[in-house]
Amino acid sequence: MQHSGQQFLTAEKGSDSARLATKQNLAIDVLRQHGRVRMRALGTSMLPAIWPGDVLCIERTEAGEIGRGDIVLFGQCGNLFAHRVMAVRFAGERCVLVTRGDSLPYPDSLVHSSQVLGRVDRVVRAGKETQPARRPGRFSSAASWCLCRSASLRRVAVVWHSLRCRSAAGKPTGDPDPAASVVIESAE
């Protein structure tokens, strides 16, 4: 794993990692049993397509139904990640995905079909639902390129985005506990 921004739902310093792991396991169970779950993004690996605080609507999907450009939720090394599919490779009946966060310089370890939990089919930001683009536009591609090369720029972008969203919503600007920010909702 390249850096902590790559992680989708992980414990931050001082947070209760056992509580977060329980929430992750519950989300996986809800997704497997009900086919849909909503989870709040905490990492910066998918900037500018997905920002910390966005709610991701995830639909259970088999690896064979996933194509290049989709954003998938998968588990690796005890963590959950939501990254874009760069390539789909087949070895006989087995499917392997090459994934990468939009603002990361390198691809993840190969994602095997057994690690795929679902596909992000909508993103909720500031009360508005949108479908994630399978191909980022020119601005998003340029922003991703810049953000993957500068941790300082990523931090500034996240602070700016957070302040902008909170001021628009009339909320105070303190950072919430990341473990408390995980949202798990069944879509039933």
Listed in sequence order, the residues at least 6 apart from 19 whose beta carbon sits closer than 8 Å to its beta carbon are: 179
CATH number at 4-181: 2.10.109.10
pLDDT score recorded for residue 137: 65
Backbone angles phi, psi at 119, to 5 degrees: -120, 140
77 touches 67 (CB < 8 A): no
pLDDT score recorded for residue 176: 45
More confident residue, 125 or 187: 125
Over residues 72-105, the pLDDT tens digits come to 999 998 889 999 999 999 878 889 999 999 888 8
Residue boundaries of the structural domains of the chain: 4-181
Query: Helix, strand, or coil here: 82?
Result: strand
* Most confident option among 5-14, 112-121, 145-154: 112-121
What is this structure's pTM? 0.75
